[in-house]
């Protein structure tokens, strides 16, 4: 399987505290991967680094078939390169309708002038409707997203990610605050998305990770502690010590 993203030897410290310590990580073109780890393990910081929010002190991040470095790119550029991100807290534009949120995310020219003269085409509107159906918000297109429930906001954010048509999705704790049924729907969404692209899911909930049924990477103190199937890593003594057995 060819590699889509390759992170190697990355370290970053905040005021002397090493949040990420010589981390190496790879993901293939159409792969679902779960990242678990105790609070403060550096999971979110890892996403910050890949999406350009945080600059690593050292290390390389190579992207795509041509192995280009992400380090010199701005956040917006990285997003346009095809890396989408869902934040830990749902962050949608609450003052705007679900449709406006999705249209803003839809893969289209992002330049100010192109956006100024943009009129949604029939195909774009159809795509939005399809996406809304996928995330179960087809009846809420005209509602302000601020009025949605917490879980619906999470889905809307996932929908916005899909609208971007990214090649890599970074999803930070998508199931937080969701009811069991909502979780199930979320699992289905992520598994479906991972059929055509790479998806990295950070999640605390073991049951959720189990249902994703994918390779798991355990982070601890900023580096990889173990990697493999869920059963494999949960059997690992080190993992039990730092995470499961706490």
Partner 1 sequence: MLDAAKDPSSGHGYLDGLGAEPTTGRRGDAPKPLIVRNPSILVFLTALALFTLTVTVLSEAVGPGLISTSFVKTLGKTLCLCLVAIAMDLVWGYCGILSLGHFAFFGLGGYMIGMWLMYERTRDIVATAMAEAPIPPTDAEIVDAIGTQIFGVVGSSEFPLVWAFADSLAIQLALVVLVPGVLALVFGWLAFRSRVTGVYLSILTQAMTLALALYLFQNDSGLRGNNGLSGLQNLPGVAAPQSVVSLWFFWASAAALGLGYLLAAWLVSGKFGSVIRGIRDNEARVRFLGYSVEGYKLFIFAVTAMIAGIAGALYYPQAGIINPAEIAPIASIYLAVWVAIGGRGRLYGAVIGAAFVSLVSSWFTGGQAPDLPLGFYTVKWVDWWLIVLGLSFVLVTLFAPRGIGGLVDLWTERRAPDRHGADLGPDPGALREQEATE
The site for partner 1 (CB under 8 A) is made up of: 44-45, 48, 51, 53, 74-77, 79-80, 84-85, 87-97, 99-100, 103-105, 110-112, 115-116, 118-120, 122, 125-126, 129, 132-133, 138-144, 146-153, 160, 164, 172, 177-179
Binding site for ligand ATP (CB under 6 A): 14, 19, 37, 39-45, 88
Q: Hey, is 191 helix, strand or coil?
A: helix
Q: Which phi and psi angles does 93 have, rounded to 5°?
A: -90, 100
Strand order through the sheet with 83-86? 83-86, 168-172, 198-202, 32-36, 215-220, 223-228
Q: Which helix (H) or strand (E) holds 6?
A: strand 3-14
* Residue 45 binds Mg ion (CB under 5 A): no
Report in angstroms how near the CB of residue 106 gets to Mg ion at its nearest. 27
CA distance 147 to 239: 40
Collapsed DSSP state (helix, strand, coil) of residue 143: coil
Least distance from C-beta 5 to partner 1, angstroms? 16
DSSP β-ladder status, 223-228 and 17-28? unpaired
Q: 199, 192, 120: which is closest to 167 by C-alpha?
A: 199
The nearer residue to ligand ATP, 43 or 183, going by C-beta atoms, is 43
One residue of 44, 145, 152, 187 binding Mg ion per CB under 5 A: 44
Taking the least distance from each CB to partner 1, the nearer of 99 and 185 is 99
- Tell the smallest beta-carbon distance from residue 128 to ligand ATP (Å): 31
């Amino acid at each position: 399987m060819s590699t889509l993203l390759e992170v190697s030897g990355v370290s970053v410290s905040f005021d002397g505290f090493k949040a990420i310590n010589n981390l190496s990580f790879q993901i293939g073109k159409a792969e679902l991967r779960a990242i678990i780890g105790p609070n403060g393990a550096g999971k979110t910081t890892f996403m910050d680094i890949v999406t350009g929010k945080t600059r690593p002190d050292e290390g390389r991040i190579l992207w795509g078939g041509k192995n280009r470095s992400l380090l010199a790119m701005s956040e917006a550029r990285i997003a346009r390169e095809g890396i989408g991100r869902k934040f830990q807290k749902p962050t949608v534009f609450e003052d705007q309708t679900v449709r406006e949120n999705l249209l803003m995310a839809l893969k289209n020219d992002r330049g100010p002038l192109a956006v100024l003269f943009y009129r949604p085409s029939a195909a774009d509107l159809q795509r939005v409707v399809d996406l809304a159906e996928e995330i179960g918000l087809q009846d809420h297109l005209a509602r302000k997203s601020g009025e949605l429930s917490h879980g619906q906001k999470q889905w809307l954010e996932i929908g916005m990610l899909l609208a971007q048509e990214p090649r890599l999705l970074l999803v930070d704790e998508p199931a937080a605050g969701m009811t069991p049924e909502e979780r199930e729907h979320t699992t289905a969404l992520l598994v479906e998305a991972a059929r055509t692209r790479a998806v990295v899911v950070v999640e605390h909930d073991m049951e959720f990770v189990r249902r994703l049924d994918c390779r798991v990477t355990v982070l601890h103190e900023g580096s990889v502690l173990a990697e493999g199937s869920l059963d494999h890593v949960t059997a690992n003594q080190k993992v039990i010590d730092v995470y499961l057995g706490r």
